[in-house]
Amino acid sequence: MPRICDPLFTTKPAYEGSGLGLEIVKKSVEKHLAQIEVTSVIGQRTCIVPIHIAV
């Protein structure tokens, strides 16, 4: 999963989504000095993404 936040990276077929979603989220989270942690299981479509925000 090292590429999931790369611009235009997607696992969808051509012309189904831009692949910009997680890149935008990553930039916004980093701007606020927070962190994203992604957990996924091979073969399942569920992806857990907790966002840790410094208080």
7-52 pLDDT, tens digit per residue, is: 877 777 877 777 777 888 888 888 888 887 777 777 876 666 777 7
CA atoms of 9 and 17, how far apart (whole Å): 10
pLDDT score recorded for residue 44: 77
pTM for this entry: 0.58
- pLDDT of 46: 66
Q: Comparing C-alpha atoms, which of 42, 43, 46, 26 is closest to residue 34? A: 26
